[in-house]
Structure 1
Amino acid sequence: MTDFLQLRSLNTLEVVGDDERYVVKAEGVAPVATCPLCKVGRLHGHGSQEQSFQDTPTHGKPVVVFIQRRRYRCISCNKTLFEPVADLDSKRQATARLMRYIRKESFTKTFAALAREVDLDEKTVRHVFDDFIEEFEAKVRFRTPRILGIDELKIIGQYRAMITNIERKTVFDLRPSRAKADLLPYFRNLRDKDTIEWVAMDMYHVYKQVVRATLPQARIVVDRFHIQRMANDALEKLRKRIRKDLPARQRLKLKDERFLLLKRQHDLKGADMTRALEWFRQFPQLGEAHALKEGFLSIWDHKSRPEAEAACATWLGNIPPELAATFKDLTTAVHNWHDEIFSYFEQPITNAYTESVNRLAKDMNRMGRGYSFEVIRARMLYNEKARKDGAVVETVDVDDDQVSTNFEFQRMTMASIRKKQVRRVVEYGPYIPTLVRLLEEGYFE
C-alpha cells in the first residue's frame, strides 16, 4: 500500500476517512539510542503516549494523525523525553508541513477560512502567521531612506501611516495607525535614522511633531499637492455656497460645473472658456475666487524659494476682504507651515505617486474585507516580485576575511589592511509601480 502520509519520519499504519476528515494512525521510524539532551547517556523505554497532530488537508478534507509516541528515560541525566519525529512542528500539535502550508496560504486566504480548512482554531492560524512574519522581519531589512515620505492609506476603516522611500519609489513600511503613540516609538527606534535628510508629508500636525522629536536633522517638505488642493477646496466652498441660493434648474447646472471651475486657466479653451466666463459674469465673486486659485497655483511655477515667497506675499495681499473667510484655511496653513511649504523650492519632492497611492488605497480597502491589517501589510511589504524590482546590487569594499588577526598583524597600520570587493543585494522595499501593476492584474485576489 502507498504510504498515505509520505513523511520520512512516520510510517502509516491505518487510514480511516469519512465525509469530514481523514484519521491516520502512524508510528515513528527513527528510534534513538543516545540521549539527545546530554549527548552521552543511554536511553531505555519508559512507556508511550498517544498524541494527535494536524496535517495538511488531503482531497479537500482535514487530516489528523494519531501517533503512539514512545517515551524514554536517560540513564545518565535521568531526564525523560519523547522519541524525536523530524516531521512534527516543535511548537504546535501539527506537522511541520502543515505549518509551511498555513504560512503560504495565509497570504491568500482569511484566517477564518484557513482555520476551517485545516481544522485548527483561528487563533492558532493567526499565531502561526505572526511567527512567520516575525522570522521574516528578522531576516529582511530595508535600507533606511535618505528622502522619506509619510502618507496615509485608509485600510479596513482606519487611517494607516504609509512610509515610503521617495528616491526609490518603494514602500518602506506600513504602520497600524498614524497616531503619535505608534509613530513616536517607531521612529525613535528606527535603524540608521540619521541617514534621513528630508521628509515629505501632508500638513498633519502629528507627523510634524514626530519628525521634530525623533529626526531633528531632517528637513520637512509639505507635499505640494496637499497645499494646492486647499486652493481648489476654497473655490469649491464658494461654489457650493452660491448654489444653495439659486433656483433649482440653475442650481443643478452649477453643480455640474465643478470640474470646469477646477480646471487650470490655461486649459480653458473654446466652449469651456465661454461657459466659465458666463458664470463669472453672473457671479463676480466666483470669478475672483477662480483667479485667486490660479494665482496660488502659479506660485509653483517659480524656480527659486525667494521668488516663490515673494509671489505668495503678493497673492496674500490681493485677497479681497469679502473672500478672506473663503480662503482662511489656506492662508492659515501658509502661515503655520511656511518654512515646510517653501522648502519644496530647495528640495522639490512630493509623496508623488498620488495616483498610485490612491489606487493602492482603493484596492487595499477592497482586499481588506475579511483580512487583517497585518496580512495586508505583509502581502504588500514582502511580495517577492515587488521587492526584487525595488532592490539594487551594489559593489562595496570590505576587509579581506583571510587577513590574519594575530598580535603581529595588530601592530600593522590600518592602511595595510587588505580589501576585497563584494557584490551584495540591497533592498529598499517593494517597488510601488510593481505593486500597482500586480493589483491591476489580480495577483492579490
Structure 2
Amino acid sequence: METKPTTSRSLENYYHINGDSFEKQYKEQLSGYRVWSELSHADEWLVYPENLGESICIDETSISDGELYTIVTNRASRGGKGCIIAIVKGVRSEDIINTLLLIPKELRDQVKEITMDFSNGMNLVARRCFTKAIRTIDRFHMQKLACDALQEMRIAHRWDAIKADNEARCKAREAGVEYNPTCFRNGDTPKQLLARSRYLLFKSADKWSCSQKVRSELLFEAFPDIKEAYSLTHSLRQIFNKNTIKDAARLSLARWYDKVEKAGFKSFNIIGNTLYENSDQVLNFFVNRATNAFAESFNAKIKAFRASLRGVVDVKFFLFRLTKLYA
C-alpha cells in the first residue's frame, strides 16, 4: 500500500495541536533530519544504489521556484518505496554523470533499459553511466511535438481570422452599416471554430462527440492544411499504437517521413528531422514498449506533495521527507 505524505496542519483538527509548533518540533527533534547522513550535500545530490533495477527512467522536475532537479527512478518500484535512485540539482550532464558514477559499476551494468526524453544531455548521461542498457526515447514526447506543430497551425489561422474579423468590423463601422459576421452551419464564426477545435485535434476521430464531428468536418473543409497536419499527427500515433516489431516500425516511420516531406510543413519537417536523427532510440520503444510515463507520474506525485505543503521553503527538508517516502 502506498504511503501518502502527511502535513502537520492536517493533524491539527484530529489531535488539537498547534500545527506550526508541531512542524518545528517534528523537523528539529522527531524526524531525525538534523542527524541525516546526507544533510551536508542533500540539496546538491542524493544517491541510493540499492534501488537500482533493470528498467529505469530519467527526467527533470521543478522542486521550488522553477529550480530544476534531475531524478532517476526505478520503474519496478511502482512509485512506492525504493523508487528514487538519484536526485541531482540541475540538468547539467556532467554533474549528473559524476553523481551516478558514485554507484558501483557492477550495479550500473545491471540496468537493461533506460527511458528518457529528447534531451541530448540525458542521452549522454545514459550512454556514459549505463553502458549495457538500451536507450529508449519516450514515444509521448514525439507525439507531443507533432500535436504542438498541429496546434501552431491552428493558432496561426485563428490570428488571421481575428485580424480579418476586426478589419470587417472597421469597414462596416465606417460604412455605417450593421456588421454580421460569417457563420458556419453550426453557428460558429471562423475565429470561434478555430478556438473551439483545440481539443478535438488532440483526439482520434473515433473518440469525437457528435458536435466535434460536425466541427471537425467544417474545420477541415475550411482549412485543408489543418486536415493534412491532423492526418500526419494521427498516423504517427498509429505507428506506435500498433503491436509490431522494430524493423516493421522502421519501415512505417520511413513512409511517414515521405508524407511529411510531401506536405511541406516547416514544423513537421523539423519533427521529421528530429525523429530521423534519433531513430534508433525512438524505435527501441518496440523492444519492450517502455515509455517515460512512470517518470511523469512520479513528477506529478512530487508536485502534489509540494502543493500539500503550500510550497517549499527548505529544499533540504523537502528532499529529506521525499526520500523517506520514496527512497
Q: TM-score, normalised by structure 1?
A: 0.55
Once the two structures are TM-superposed, the CA of residue 254 in structure 1 deviates from its matched residue by 1.4
Q: Which residue of 2 aligns with 1:308?
A: 249
Q: Which 5+ residue runs of structure 2 have no aligned equivalent? A: 1-17, 166-188
Is 1:325 the counterpart of 2:251? The answer is no
Query: In the alignment, which of 369, 372, 393 is matched to residue 314 of structure 2?
Result: 372
Is 1:220 the counterpart of 2:135? The answer is yes
Once the two structures are TM-superposed, the CA of residue 329 in structure 1 deviates from its matched residue by 3.0
Distance 1:333 1:278 in 2: 32
Contact 1:309 1:342 in 2 (8 A): yes
Contact 2:58 2:72 in 1 (8 A): yes
Distance 1:152 1:374 in 2: 17
Is 1:382 the counterpart of 2:324? The answer is yes
Contact 1:161 1:176 in 2 (8 A): yes
Query: In the alignment, which of 282, 285, 289 is matched to residue 341 of structure 1?
Result: 282
Is 1:295 the counterpart of 2:235? The answer is yes
Query: In the alignment, which of 75, 84, 87 is matched to residue 171 of structure 1?
Result: 84
Q: Flag the 1:183–1:138 CA change in 2: closer, same or farther, 3 A.
A: closer
Higher-RCO chain (CA-CA 8 Å, sequence separation at least 6):
2
Amino acid of the structure 2 residue aligned with 1:205: N
Distance 2:200 2:41 in 1: 53
Query: In the alignment, which of 148, 154, 157 is matched to residue 56 of structure 2?
Result: 148
Distance 2:95 2:41 in 1: 22
Identify the structure with the greater helix proportion.
2
Distance 1:138 1:290 in 2: 43
Q: Which residue of 2 aligns with 1:118?
A: none
Is 1:261 the counterpart of 2:183? The answer is no
Q: Which residue of 2 aligns with 1:159?
A: 68
Q: Which residue of 1 aligns with 2:102?
A: 189
Amino acid of the structure 2 residue aligned with 1:281: E
Q: Which residue of 1 aligns with 2:6?
A: none
Once the two structures are TM-superposed, the CA of residue 338 in structure 1 deviates from its matched residue by 0.6
Contact 2:47 2:85 in 1 (8 A): no
Q: Flag the 1:358–1:273 CA change in 2: closer, same or farther, 3 A.
A: farther
Identify the structure with the greater strand proportion.
1
1:324-380: per-residue Cα shift (whole Å, max 9, x none)?
A: 302133112211211100011112111223663352243255347342332222211
Distance 1:134 1:336 in 2: 41
Once the two structures are TM-superposed, the CA of residue 256 in structure 1 deviates from its matched residue by 2.7
Q: Flag the 1:375–1:318 CA change in 2: closer, same or farther, 3 A.
A: same
Q: Which residue of 2 aligns with 1:360?
A: 301
User: What SS does the corresponding residue of 1:152 show, helix, strand or coil?
Assistant: strand
Distance 1:261 1:101 in 2: 48
Is 1:180 the counterpart of 2:88? The answer is no
Distance 1:316 1:232 in 2: 16
Contact 1:161 1:178 in 2 (8 A): yes
Distance 2:57 2:76 in 1: 10
Give me the identity figure in percent: 20
- Once the two structures are superposed, the pairs formed by residues 226-305 of structure 1 within 5 Å of their partners are 226-247=141-162, 248=165, 250-302=190-242, 303-305=244-246
Contact 2:73 2:86 in 1 (8 A): yes
Aligned residues: 271
Once the two structures are TM-superposed, the CA of residue 183 in structure 1 deviates from its matched residue by 0.4
Distance 1:146 1:209 in 2: 19
Q: Which 5+ residue runs of structure 1 have no aligned equivalent? A: 1-58, 63-97, 108-127, 387-428, 430-445
1:273-317: per-residue Cα shift (whole Å, max 9, x none)?
A: 121111000000010000110011110133111111111111111
Contact 1:222 1:340 in 2 (8 A): yes
Once the two structures are TM-superposed, the CA of residue 234 in structure 1 deviates from its matched residue by 1.2
Larger radius of gyration: 1
Q: TM-score, normalised by structure 2?
A: 0.73
Amino acid of the structure 1 residue aligned with 2:28: I
Amino acid of the structure 1 residue aligned with 2:59: D
